[in-house]
Amino acid sequence: MIKPVLLGGLILLAACSGPAPAPTNTAAAAGEHGYIAKVQALSPGQRAGVLFGAVRKSGGTGCQGVTQAESMPPSASGQPVWRVTCAEGSQWMVVLADDGTALVTGARDNIHLKQ
């Protein structure tokens, strides 16, 4: 089952756990530095926190923590994909969209694992 999840608040929460970044020019073209770029710029631990939130919000309540978040080849539409492994062993595929939503599926249902 695929469930879209809105993750806007999670990236803000993850971003709060690190030191304040240096000021940057925010006059970039629309879409140039959207949600995907922000998530990809996070440290591995912060990114795992965002992906954990996506899994939990999509119904993966058995996931009590992320032990691995592995980048996979992009989706057919070019969106970034991560295979997330939870502490209890479940695996999930998380596809991020630039509008802050995520599509989360059980990893066994995803073609990336059938290579």
Q: Among 3-12, 49-58, 105-114, which stretch is predicted with the lowest mean pLDDT?
A: 3-12
pLDDT in tens, 10-63: 554 454 544 444 443 333 344 445 899 999 999 999 999 999 999 999 888 889
86/3 Cα distance (integer angstroms): 18
Can you tell me the distance from the alpha carbon of 15 to that of 10, in angstroms, rounded to the nearest whole number? 8
Return the amino acid letter for 108: R
Q: Is the whole model's pTM more than 0.85, yes or no?
A: no
3-state secondary structure (DSSP) of residue 35: helix
Higher pLDDT, 19 or 95: 95
**Burial readout 5-21 (b: 16 or more C-beta within 10 A, e: otherwise):** bebeebbeebbeeeeee
Residue 1: closest CA among 87, 108, 78, 82: 108
Residue type, 38: K
In angstroms, the CA 93 to CA 81 distance is: 7
Is residue 68 within 8 Å of residue 87, measured between CB atoms?
Answer: no
Q: Quick one: average pLDDT of 66-94? A: 94
- Residues 93, 51: contact at Cβ < 8 Å? no
